[in-house]
Amino acid sequence: MNETISLVIPTFNERDNIVPLVERLGRALSGRSYEIIVIDDSSSDGTAELVESLKGSYPVKVIVRKNQRGLASAVVHGMSQASGNIIAVIDADLQHPPEVIPDLLREMERGADIAIASRYVRGGGCQGWSLSRRIISRGAIFLAHLLLPATRRVKDPMSGFFMLNKKVIAGAQLQPTGYKILLEILMIGKSQNVAEVPYTFITRGRGESKLTTRQQVHYLRHLYSLMRRTDELARFIKFALVGASGVGVNLGLLWLLTETGGLFYLASAAIAIEISIITNFILNNYFTFADRRQPGVDTFLKRLFKFNTVSLGGLGINLAILWLLTSGLGMFYMLSNLIGIAAATLWNYLANNWWTWKS
């Protein structure tokens, strides 16, 4: 395969890094057909001019954006200018070793449509990260895995260093905001086969980081936006509606069994709870998680068992919160119970999404 590889490099004040990066890219890709597209958001340190001066020696071009800032949008802009079918995205600050690119290419040649340089597969890592940055990075990935099930196939969906086939994003309505462009591509693009290769994220040697706390908070908004655009939010609303129908079934049966069936109210309650769990399960199986349904009585029963277990956990959470808030904090018990129900619903949703209807 000797397709042209389009390397997209976002820059903002990377004067000290861009030349050594282009030189190392040239060595890593020698013998291959490639182009380098630098997207510079009007750096004030002369980054764009430096890239221009490399034109005689390397296949580089630089696009200077005047009134725009933003890593993800810069990358999308760069990708739209790619003439090759294979696009690689790499930071300018040498934290992404260009020597990994041949490994990414190998995965593409084996049939991957996205190949990710990953910090979180065996052999990968982060150099010199503080404990807090490690925790934030892992936490961000955990949240993505929790709320966006389609990312679970990838260990490092936050990587800024990856390669993809252009057709993955052809026609995709990308809404590039913030820093996490790969996450957007994984969720909105069309990829079948995603591979990860290990690399070590090196400490930044020169220049300044542009990653701010504001960017990290912005990430949460991006997650929410992706949940909305990929129907994961709709799934949660369906789950909550099914839960509400279960309350109806539960109360109705409790009344019926006690009043007309003549059962002791605690016995009716136990039966009513179990039956409402079963009706909730059936509705969720055919409605909320219809896209993850699998044939076979075996799976059905296994999932019903898991759903029951999760519901029991939810009941425990509901009661624990009711007790803590009422007896511990003196809150009115109806209000405590409402908070308990909200917490249990969240637990039920996340645990069932993660475990019962594992995608």
Instruction: Give me the least distance between CB of 207 and ligand GTP, in Å please.
Output: 7
Among 22, 37, 60, 91, binds ligand GTP (CB under 6 A): 91
79 binds ligand GTP (CB under 6 A): no
Among 22, 71, 147, 223, binds ligand GTP (CB under 6 A): 71
Considering CB under 6 A, how many residues would be counted as binding ligand GTP?
Answer: 20
Out of Mg ion, ligand GTP, none, what residue 92 binds, judged by CB under 5 to 8 A for its kind, is: ligand GTP
At residue 155, what are phi and psi to the nearest 5 degrees? -80, -30
Q: Which is nearer to ligand GTP, 175 or 279 (CB)?
A: 175
93 binds ligand GTP (CB under 6 A): yes
166 in Cβ contact with 85 (< 8 Å)? yes
92 binds ligand GTP (CB under 6 A): yes
Among 93, 107, 113, 184, binds Mg ion (CB under 5 A): 93
161 binds ligand GTP (CB under 6 A): no
Give just the sign of the alpha carbon dihedral 285, 288, 293, 299.
Answer: negative
Spatial separation of the C-alpha atoms in residues 355 and 359, rounded to whole Å: 8
Among 95, 159, 280, 318, binds Mg ion (CB under 5 A): 95
Given the structure tokens 């996340």, which residue do they identify? 350
Interface residue list for Mg ion (CB under 5 A) = 93, 95
Interface residue list for ligand GTP (CB under 6 A) = 10-12, 14, 39-41, 69-71, 74, 91-93, 95, 160, 204, 209-211
